[in-house]
Structure formats: C-alpha cells, structure tokens
Amino acid sequence: MPIEHMDMKHPKIIVAGIGPGNESDITPAVISALQESDVVVGYKYYFQFVTPYLHPSTACIDTGMKRERARAERLKKNISGWSEDLFGALDAEPTVFTGYETLNDTGVVVALSDEETMTDAIATDEEAKDGVLVVLDKTPFYAEMGGQAADHGMLNSADCSLRVLDVKKTPKGYYVHTCVLESGIVKVGDHLTAQVDKEYRMAIARNHTATHLLQAALREVLGDHVHQAGSYQDAEITHFDFTHFSAVTPEELARVQKIVNDKIYESMNVTVREMPIEEAKKLGAMALFGEKYGKVVRVVDIEGWSTEFCGGTHVKNTAQIGGFKIVSEASVAAGIRRIEAVTGRNLLIRANLQEAMLHTVANTLKANNVTALPVRAEAVMAENKALAKELEEIKAQVAASKVTSLFDNAEEIGGVKIASAYFTGTTGDTLRGMCDTIRDKAVKPAVAVLVGKSEDKITMAVTVTKQAQEKGLKAGALVKEIAAIAGGKGGGKPDFAMAGLKDETKIDEALAAVGAIVKKALGE
C-alpha cells in the first residue's frame, strides 16, 4: 500500500542481501520478504533485480543521498579513521607493492567498498560511479606517503573499467585505490589489470629526485645545519621544508638553483638499493629526523653527491628531470623555510604562461615586442611621473585661487582672522602649499585650519602668521587640540603644524570648534 496509508502499529524491518548483483542469487526467503514489503530501501542499481517480486504499490527508496553524506563525513577523516571502519576487519595478506619494478601488473580484488560499507560487488547505473574503493592483493600504484602524491591510472577487466584518482595505505598494509567506476561491474575476486599513468608517475618522480638535489644544494650554500622538515611532491610542483634561521637571499637562491641545474645537466645516475640500516648510515645516507626505520632501508643515491633514505619513486638519471626552477621561498614556521619549485614539462608550461603574460603587457603598453618592454616601461613611468607633477601643479594653482578668497568672510577674534575649510581630493602636500601661500601673503594676524582627504588618508594642516604668533598663538598647540576632536594626533612648529585624523564623521565638529579654541588661546 502507499506509504501514507501504511499501518505502522506493528512495523517490521527485514535486512536481506541479494549477492553480488545477479537475480539467480536471490534466495526464496528474500523473495518472500520482498513480496510482503511496503517499502524497499537500497541502492538504485539493485532495484532491477527485485522489481519483479514487488507489489505495484511498494515504494522504492534509493539510499544515494545517504551515501553522499557518509562520504562527506569520511573525507573529513584520515586514512586511519576510515580504514578502521571499512577495512579493519579485513582478514587478508597486506597488499604487495610492485610499482618499483613495473607500471603494469595484474591484481585480484580482495575487498570493495562504496565509501560506506564493505560489499561484494559494485556496478554503474546510468552514469559513472565515483567513490569506489578497491583493495588488490598486489598493485603497481604508489600510495600517498612520505610526502609523495599517489599514482593515477586505470584498473580494467573484461567486465569493468575504473579510473584511479588516489591511493592510500592503511595501517594493516592494504593499498586502497579510490576510483571512478566508469563502466561495468567490479566484484570481489575479479582479476584487474593495473596500469599506472606513466607520464603522471614520471612527473612526480622528476619532482621527487629534484628535491633530493635541492637538499644537497641548500646544505652546500647555507650550511650543514639545513635538514629536511617536511616535503610534498605531486605531478605539478614540489615543496621542500627545511631548517634555517633566516630568509634565503635572492643571491643564495640563485646559487642553489644553479647547482641543482648543473647536477641535472651532468646526467648523474640515480641508484636505489635496499640495505641494512647500519650499512646505510656508514654511507652517510641522510634520514628524516624523527622518522622510525626498520632494519632494512631503501637508499637513493645520486653518485655520492646526494644519499638519502627514501621510499619514493625516482628518475634513473638526473637528465630526465629536464630542468629546475624555484618558484618561491617563504617562512612556514619558526626556524622553518619552504621552497616551491617546478621541473620538466611544468617548467615549460610556466615559461609559456609567463611569456603569454609578457605579450599581454607589451600590447597594453603598446610596445613593439617583448624585448622592448623594459624601455617602454621606463618611458611610461616617466610619462606618469611628468603627469603626476603636472597634476600637482594644477592642484597647487587651484588651491592658491581658493586661498585668496578663504579670508574674505572669515571670522575675526581678538584681531585675528580665522579661516577653516575641508577639501576632498587634496593631499597633505597640497595643504602644506596652501599654508605657505597664506603665510607669504598675509599682512594681518591670521590662523588657517585646513583639512584634506586623499583616498583613505585624512590630513589637517594649521598655519599661524607671524603677526598672530606675536599674540601668543602657536600652530603646534592648536593642531593638537583641534585634531583630538576627530581622533587625530599631530604637532609641529609655531608657524605650521600637521595631524592625521581618524574619525571622518567628526571633521565638521572639529572645524566648528576652531573659533572657540583660538579664543581660549588668546585668553579672551
């Protein structure tokens, strides 16, 4: 019956499985339960197998939204968190990693998950299904660890195709491939052909080997106090964190970059060996501080110039890196610096982007070509400087015209003319020029209080003529009292003083108080 008419006084929930996704796997007991059900809850894909046994009024509810919510929660956790939920009970041998020797291999599916629960099979519906987690008995895919990003690639069989987006290693040693199921159905026990994306792996390897060269170069230029404090390499960029007490100078960065590129152009062989840890230490292999190592370690050696403990993937010869370019250097913590760099094709991509930007700038500045940019830029700067000077002269002329009329209707207190005004779009330099004009042309005692605003800066200037100074008025004392009304501070000499104002809403109040403040200063 329809949901709205169901009798919920005695509800009953039946949990049933229908196997890996085949109608023949549905048991008679499950069929009986389906026939009596008012509501069926499950994944949309399986409805095709159970619909023949359902009453026409039976409601089918797809749990897709539930899966998405569960997935979002799992994304907040690290590998240890969700692996405990999904693969903690898995009783199988750890995944064998074969990716050092090959990029192609065949592995058997030992576990599957839809990011919510373990399952025996997962199939596509009308479109590709993401968030499919696959555990293989062996794999050539490198799992994210040691700062190196995971491989990308494909898992294929005659019945399915999965695109691998990420790989993580659980505490129990299972390599979990996060995939998009692009077609078909994947089942536990399937034999899948694993194909690592060669260029993606190679791009990461270039960055990782370059990082080893970088550490050796930094120690050569900056000193033996330099040690790795963290690193990250993916197919686009490498980050290297290291101990150092100050910013690396441009000259030092240039030396480091040159050394790394020199080692690349020397075509140095990169050898990888597993050996007892004591033997590795005798070779002088550098280890990551605080890292725990077993009795046998993997050592990456670049002809003795760089020797490090490392579990990552690398090029066979430094020439394969292609080139090395430092992108940035900055502080990430107290005593820890970070260098970001690019290599190989990414270096070329970056160069092409920068060249395109240079062409855009050249067109904007109307330069004939990129090589003419420096000369054209200098010319534009000179033009701007000349225009700025011309503008200031015009402003000064306008200000001078305003000054002549400033005292026409000015208030007079104790024989002193008092003028105040507020000018928008006027800088402190312009106010200073106006005050100079007032003092030069004044023949009678006068005080002028001028406020100007330019962009977000508000300035007050106060000038007191010589005749007004003889009456006991001082610009420095006046500006302090007047500016304080608008949250400002300032000072200066008896004839001229300036202050910066903070509260624009109080400017009118400050200017209105000038007369009373001058009167008080005159003792009237």
Instruction: Indicate which CATH number applies to the domain containing 289.
Output: 3.30.980.10
Task: Give the domain-ending residue among 13, 29, 62.
Answer: 62
Same domain? 154 vs 55: no
Same domain? 32 vs 120: no
Give how far Cα 373 sits from Cα of 366, 370, 383, 524, Å. Answer: 9, 5, 15, 66
Q: Which of 145, 143, 229 is CA-nearest to residue 178?
A: 143
Same domain? 21 vs 38: yes
| Angle between helix 344-364 and 198-222 (nearest 10) | 80
**What's the pLDDT score for residue 261?**
97
Helix, strand, coil percent content, the chain, rounded in steps of 5: 40, 30, 30
The residue type at 463 = T
**Which residues have a Cβ under 8 Å from the Cβ of 515 and sit 6 or more positions away?**
411, 413, 418
In the DSSP assignment, the letter for residue 127 is: S
Helix (H, G, I), strand (E, B) or coil at 492: strand
Torsions phi, psi for 439 (to 5 deg): -65, -35
**What's the pLDDT score for residue 96?**
97
Domain-located, residue 365: no
Give how far Cα 386 sits from Cα of 191, 383, 418, 426, Å. Answer: 76, 5, 36, 19
Same domain? 248 vs 192: no
Q: How confident is residue 421, by pLDDT bands cut at 50, 70 and 90?
A: confident
**Which residues have a Cβ under 8 Å from the Cβ of 454 and sit 6 or more positions away?**
425, 426, 427, 428
The string of DSSP codes covering 419-450 is: EEEEEET--HHHHHHHHHHHHHH--S-EEEEE
In this model, does residue 83 exceed pLDDT 50?
no
User: Do 50 and 34 touch, CB atoms closer than 8 A?
Assistant: yes
Tokens, residue 521: 């200063």
**What's the pLDDT score for residue 89?**
81
Across the chain, mean pLDDT equals 85
Same domain? 292 vs 307: yes
In this model, does residue 4 exceed pLDDT 50?
no
Same domain? 167 vs 283: no
In this model, does residue 136 exceed pLDDT 80?
yes
Same domain? 239 vs 328: yes
| Residues spanned by the domain of 336 | 206-342
The residue type at 472 = G
Same domain? 105 vs 160: yes
Which domain CATH number covers 125? Answer: 2.40.30.130
Domain-located, residue 357: no
**What's the pLDDT score for residue 376?**
85
Domain-located, residue 385: no
Same domain? 156 vs 245: no
**What's the pLDDT score for residue 19?**
55
Same domain? 72 vs 182: yes
Gyration radius from the chain CA atoms: 38
Q: How confident is residue 77, by pLDDT bands cut at 50, 70 and 90?
A: very low
Range among 53-57, 268-272, 390-394 with highest mean pLDDT value: 268-272
In this model, does residue 67 exceed pLDDT 80?
no
For residues 500 and 51, give the distance between their C-alpha atoms in angstroms, rounded to a whole number. 79
In this model, does residue 8 exceed pLDDT 60?
no
User: Do 176 and 144 touch, CB atoms closer than 8 A?
Assistant: no
Q: Which of 514, 457, 466, 459 is CA-nearest to residue 489?
A: 459
The total number of structural domains in the chain stands at 4
**What's the pLDDT score for residue 63?**
59
**Which residues have a Cβ under 8 Å from the Cβ of 354 and sit 6 or more positions away?**
none
Q: How confident is residue 171, by pLDDT bands cut at 50, 70 and 90?
A: confident
In this model, does residue 128 exceed pLDDT 60?
yes
Same domain? 91 vs 211: no
Which domain CATH number covers 461? Answer: 3.10.310.40
Q: Give the CA dihedral 505, 506, 507, 511, nearest 10 degrees.
A: 150
Read off the pLDDT of residues 208-247 as tens digits, 9 standing for 90 and up: 999 999 999 999 999 999 999 999 999 999 999 999 999 9
Task: Give the domain-ending residue among 153, 170, 196.
Answer: 196
